[in-house]
Amino acid sequence: MAERSPRDPAGTLIVVLGPSGSGKDTIIDFARETLRGRSDVLFVRRVVTRDAAVQAEDHDTLDEAAFLAAEQAGAFAFTWKAHGLSYGLPSSMDGHLALGGIAIANGSRATLPDLRRRYPTLVPVTLAVAPDVLAARIAARGRESEAEIAARLQRAERFALDTPDLTIIDNNGAPEIAGRAFVRLIEQVSARHHAIA
């Protein structure tokens, strides 16, 4: 995992956490569409060493060698590894935060302690989904075997988050319900920025 020297950005990073299948991309997409045209809100496009043709989030793709070269060149604000892949949040995110904006990123639960150190104003959000609902959603993607689904569910339980500043959004129902709750959170963070300014 790589991170630059910590500093206090004027803006706020909202990181969406949760197990695979919990709906992170769905609520982020809902918020992106709802808040389209807002220059103060940046929806961060991750770079992943995964084939762009694979059915997954909309992301930029690099192979491992190119990712490492980009990392060494300072192209990323924050990087981590998970499930045999490398992930990076582009350095443009830090520029947006330095100007007092809000950045929204799909993150990893395992990196939360490092993200807290790197971004003191971090707002972590997690999606709560019942195990049976999560299993059904993962199975519906058709990407994992039964054994792989079981392993994902075990990881979801093992990485359950419980921190005082964590915002939990229930995503067992229709995605627009959780999406609207997420948009309300973004608006609350934006209001705090305006109050401080």
5 annotated as ligand-binding: no
| H-assigned helices in the chain | 24-34, 64-72, 92-98, 112-118, 131-141, 146-158, 175-196
Identify residue 104 by its one-letter amino acid code.
Answer: I
Tokens of 76: 């990323």
CB 89 within 8 A of CB 105: yes
Q: Is 81 annotated as a binding residue?
A: no
Question: What number of other Cβ atoms are within 10 A of residue 156's Cβ?
Answer: 20
DSSP-assigned letter for residue 110: G
Does residue 88 have a known ligand-binding role? no
In this structure, are residues 124 and 163 in contact, taking their beta carbons and an 8 Å threshold? yes
Q: Do 1 and 81 touch, CB atoms closer than 8 A?
A: yes
Gyration radius (Cα) of the chain, Å? 16
Across 63-90, b (16+ Cβ under 10 Å) vs e yields eeeebeebbeeebbbbbbeeeeebbbbb
Q: Binding site annotation covers 91?
A: no
Q: Check whether 39 is labelled as a binding-site residue.
A: no
> Which residues contribute to the annotated binding site?
18-25
> Which residues contribute to the annotated binding site for ATP?
18-25
